[in-house]
Each structure stands twice: as structure tokens, then as C-alpha cells.
Structure 1
Amino acid sequence: TSAIEAARQQVAALKAEGVFTIIALTHVGINVDRQIAREVGGMSLIIGGHSHTPMGPMNNVRTPPYPELIAGPDGKPVVVVTDWEWGRWLGDITVAFNAAGTVIDLQGNPTEILPSLPADQGFENRIAVFRGPLDQLRARVVGATAVDLDGNRTNIRSRETNLGNLVAEAMLAKARNSGATIAITNGGGIRASIPAGPVTVGQILEVLPFGNTLALVTLTGAQIIEALNNGVSQVESGAGRFPQVAGLRFTYDPSLPATSRVTSVTVDGKPIDPNADYVVVTNNFMLTGGDGYSVFTRGRNQVDTGFILADVVEEYIAANSPVNPAVDGRIAI
């Protein structure tokens, strides 16, 4: 289901319950938020995330404004806001609606989270209760890497990296006994690098902070090509859907139309068979269509294994330490 269609369905369901003021909380990026505002009637406010977009005072040019008003399909204004990234700003918006749910007054005053802001001591005390055992867990060394592992945001979302290869290979190693021969994971789920040397639990959790689990799905070769095309369709914007892979090699041309950029895919040195079935290991976010991978929702034999991806990578590093992954050309441009 596309974000647009999902929004339409939810608005209809809420209106059927008598709701007349609808506020959407999304994580699809500001461009999709704007599209939802323009195309889906019945919403008054969209509070979004995912694209890490600074608005208003969060950037030097103060555009887009905070908040941003988008005309809905009925001509009524829809408020769109996001508060950038990583807790740097606290969003603050006051909205007044009339009885029909139409915005009639609006004030936005986001606050930058500066070191000079006084901490709430009660909150700090609660953090201290949990910090000790968590710090011990984070500091536990599970293995070592002989090389720097590249999870740089720009790199992991646009090209093959050795850390992307390691994560994909760890997934495939865990799922081979279940018949998997290919691994595809989204680069946007890999959030940090690891320097050469000892590797701790904390570093792995920084790389893979979302708690995603391994998932299995049977796809045809044609569906795998479709998935890879989705993965490279927004490479120019640094979208998180860029695929990091194991068990296959592919070439793509970013100058081609977004839906047909993949020019070759090989498995075991041979062109992928569009009609053959392949068991693919991915993550549960992608299995449900996350990052545009709707093709996975049409696959067969879908299974969420429950294995947490961070635990799988920890296990793989411990078993193969010191790891020394390389960029081997499995993704070519």
C-alpha cells in the first residue's frame, strides 16, 4: 500500500467514526508529506519525520517555513511540520481549529536544544538508575575488525561499502539453513561506522539501532530486479532504500529512468533467472514494504524469524573475528 492510499484509508476510517479533526504522524519524509497534504482530503496537520528536513529557524535560510501550509484537494490549508533530526530541536506548534476541523490560527515556535538548557534533575536521576548496567553491556567487547567499517551516511546510501557487505553477509549466514541464498537490506538502516580495533556491543547498536529482525521471503528473479530498481531509484537524494546485498552482484546506471536503472544482476556468476524462485533474507521493515519495497509484500512464504539484526551481526563478528570485509565490486555503477 502506498503512503497516499494508506492515508486515504485511515482518513476514511476515522471519518466513519465521527472524527472531524485529523492529525497525521508520519515517517515518510517531507516530500511525501506534502504529497499527502495535496492529494488526501480531510487532514488538518501532518507531523513528519524521516527526511531530516530543517524548517524555519532550524536553518540559515528559513525555508521551508515552520510551519508550512499546503493547500489540500478541497482548498483548505494543511499544516506540515518536522523538527529536523537527532533531538537538535523541539517542535512546538499551537493550532486552533473551527468545528469543521479547518485551521483558523497557527503559531510555530520550535526551540533549539542547547547545552545551556537546564536539565530536569528528576529525569537525570532516572537515567542514572539505568545507565550503569547499560554502560556495562555497551562496553562488552564481542570481537574485532582489522579495518575501518564504513557506515558513512552518504556512502551507505549510494554505493557498496564494506560495512554494508558485512551486515548483508551476516544476514545470509544466519539464514542459509532456512534456504536463503540472497540478502538485501536497506542502507538507511545502517547508521554509523566502526573504526578498526575492538568491536563492542554499543558500537553494533549504534550501527543498527532500530531493533529490526531478520525476515525471509520467496521472490522470483524478476521481483528481485524490481526490488533492486526500487533500491537505486532515489540514489540522488540519499534515500535510505539503497540496497546493500549478499549472494548476488548487480550493476546500475543512475542516468536511466528511476524504475529501470538496474542493467544486470548475476547470481553465482550467471544472469539471474527472472522466472526462478529465490529465498531472500531481508529485514522486517522491508518485508512490510518499508522504503518503497512493496514488491516484498507480494512475495511468498513470508516469515519474520524474530532474530534481531544487531544480535545476528554481533554473532557473525564474534565467529569471524577479526573481520576484514572488503568492497569487492558486487555493486557496480
Structure 2
Amino acid sequence: MASPVVEEEVAPKVDGVDAYVGDHAALDYETPKVVNGSLVSIIGDEFKYLAELHLDVEDGEVVSHEFTRHSLAEAVDRGLEPNTEVADLVRSYQDQLEEEVGEEIGRTETTLDAREKVVRREESNLGNYVAEKMRNHLDADVDVALMNGGGIRTSEQYGPGTLTQRDIINIFPFGNRLTVLEVTGETLRSALENGVSEVERLSGRFPQVAGMEYTWDMSNEVGERITEVTVDGDPLDPDTTYALATNNFISGGGDGYEMLADAPQTLKPVNGPLLSSLLIRRIEAETPIAPERDGRITVKNANWETVAAEKIPLFA
């Protein structure tokens, strides 16, 4: 599976690979890049394009290649029709899926806010709910939770009213799992600094949190934007070790959270639940839910006019 992570982290370190193809990334390249002698083809998500890559091989070595990027929308406009047998099979699976995911799992008494302009730059009531469920999953001594806003998708609002499995799966489409880390207060502060470092670009790294409150100043230089952090009402201690619940994308260093990549894991992702499954179970058990904004994230000197209308790619 090719992605910017492969281009930046895998291909430079691995020799002998001719090509990396296939991906679920928010970028698409008009032609493959060459990294450490390997072709890296990134063709985007949501099936907008189909890549065709031909390799010319002589004596076991790739000597040249031809690449074509096909637009599926343009192909349909030209009269491309689906294979009847494949289309029938897809419809049968869609019907089965529709029946299952369309079922009501609960209700919300407040409007759940998954809009990008909220979850990627300020406190969201849905972000609060997700982070709280992550923090409280083990009924153990987990101090804080951090969820990247880019992991909350659809950019829509839900309710008040019925919630279905489809709603939750659409909002949390990635296969991210819960993990719990041990981090120092200094590392936690660095993580928050990273989280607010690209708000102007609506970066998905923005931190929705639980168990802590933080204040950030948009007018400050990047790296100096976090002005106050408290955990359970007490000032963050840089030398204290805190239990941090997050998802495996973040714990692996995704979205710029490299400071968490080597932190000890008290709950490894392989043992943690899928976030979508965790939230479906909690909504079923707690319905009706009514999450609110409570002031855990404070923004100073916000100038939303500087925030780009188009987000940067998210590789979760």
C-alpha cells in the first residue's frame, strides 16, 4: 500500500523494491516518483482515479516504465458501463450492508459537530465525547486522552435525533485502534504544540482532548502557542508521567506526533478496540447522549480568516 508514509519513511530505507502501488491517501500524483530507485505511485482515495503502470524489465531489472492516470468520472462520461455480473454482486453486498448499518444504535439530544472547521481548530462536543470514551474505556487510571481532529470525518452535523451504525462508521472510517501510552508532562505539552501548529491549514493534527484543559494563542509563533495546560485541574508538571489514551495512528507518530512514537505502551493497539466499534457500543449503552462543549479548549487571538478553506492531506 503506497502512501506518503511509504515515500517518506519506507522507500528511503528499503532497497530492492521495484514499485509501491495502491493506496488510500488524500494525494494523487500525475506520475510516480522515484525514491531510492523505487517507483512510488500515489493515486488518491475515494476511487477518483485508476492508475495503470507498465514496467519494462530486462535481465531482472526495471529499465523503464509507462504510467497512465485514468479519471473514473471522465470514463463514465464517455459511456463506460460496469460489468453486469460484478455490478449485481456489488449490489447484493450493498443491500446486506444497508440492512445492518442502517439500524438505529441510539439517539443524541444535542447536535454532534463533525465539521472540519470545528474539529480541526477548536473544541467540538463530538470531539469531547470521543476523547472521553477513549479515556474511560478501561475503567482504569488513564489521565488524559487525545484524538486528532482529522480522524473525525464527514464534516457534517448529526441530530438531535437518531444515530445509526452508518453514521459512526462514516465519521470514523479508519481502522484506528485505541492505545494507551506513558508520557511525561513535557512530552504531552510538545504533543499539544504539534497539534496547534498548523491550524491555519486546517491540519488534521488538531487535538480534541479529555482529562485536561489547554489554552493556545493563535498569534504566537509555532512551537510557543500553548500558554496553559491543566490535568484534572492541576497545572501540567513536565516531570510527571501521565497515562495518555490515543489512537494507533497518533501513537505511531502520524500527523507530526513523532514525540509519541517511542513512548511505552500500556495498552497496545493490537489489544485495543476499533474506535468506531468502541463508540457504537458506548452510544448503545448510554443513549440518549448529550455531549456539550465545556471550555476545555480555549483559543486566544483567533483569526479564522487566515485559515485556509482547503485542508492539507491527512494520512490516517
The answer to whether structure 1 residue 144 and structure 2 residue 107 are counterparts is yes
| 2:240 alignment counterpart | 276
Distance 1:23 1:262, change over 3 A: farther
AA at the equivalent of 2:101? R
Q: 1:185 aligns with which of 141, 147, 155?
A: 147
Contact 1:48 1:80 in 2 (8 A): no
Structure 2 CA distance for partners of 1:110 and 1:255, relative to 1, 3 Å:
farther
Report the Cα offset of residue 180 of structure 1: 0.7
Choose which of 9, 15, 22 in structure 1 pairs with 2:13.
Answer: 9
Matching residue of 1:37: none
Tell me which residue corresponds to 1:23.
19
RMSD (Å) for aligned C-alpha atoms: 3.0
Residue of structure 1 in register with 2:97 after alignment: 134
Deviations 1:38-68 (A, max 9, x none): xxxxxxxxx7663x3466xxxxxxxxxx227
Give matches, 1:318-329, under 5 Å.
318-329=284-295
Cα distance change of structure 1 residues 206 and 2 upon mapping to structure 2, 3 Å threshold: closer
Residue in structure 1 matched with residue 281 of structure 2 by the alignment: 315
2:116 aligned with 1:153? yes
Alpha-carbon displacement from aligned partner over 1:150-209 (angstroms, at most 9, x marks no partner): 11233322222111111111212213x231121111111111232321101111111111
Aligned twin of 2:130:
167
For the residues of structure 1 that align with 2:160 and 2:228, how far apart are their CA atoms?
Answer: 33
- 2:168 & 2:62 partners in 1: Cα distance? 46
1:267 has 2:263 as partner: no
Q: Does 1:203 align with 2:167?
A: yes
AA aligned to 2:180 is L
User: Structure 1 residue 81: deviation in Å?
Assistant: 5.2
Distance 2:6 2:71 in 1: 33
CA–CA separation in structure 2 for the residues paired with 1:300 and 1:327: 31
Residue 4 (structure 1) shift: 4.0
Give deviations 1:93-136, integer Å, cap 9, x for gaps: 55657779687564434223347531222222222343343222
- Aligned: 1:92 with 2:55: no
Q: 1: distance between equivalents of 2:19 and 2:222?
A: 32
CA contact (8 A) 1:317 1:323 kept: yes
Q: Deviations over 1:196-229 (max 9, x none)?
A: 2110111111111122221111111111111111
Q: TM-score, normalised by structure 1?
A: 0.75
Q: Distance in 2 between matches of 1:209 and 1:221?
A: 31
Structure 2 vs 1, CA of residues 184 and 223 (structure 1 numbering), >3 Å: closer, same or farther? same
CA contact (8 A) 1:172 1:182 kept: yes
Q: SS at 1:236's partner residue?
A: helix
Quick one: higher RCO (CA 8 Å, sep 6+), 1 or 2?
Answer: 2
State, as a whole percentage, how many aligned pairs show the same letter: 31
Q: How far, CA to CA, are the matches of 1:48 and 1:2 in structure 2? A: 10
Alignment gaps of 5+ in structure 2: 300-316
TM-score by length of 2: 0.79
Q: How many residues align?
A: 288
Query: Partners in 1 of 2:289 and 2:113 — Cα distance?
Result: 13
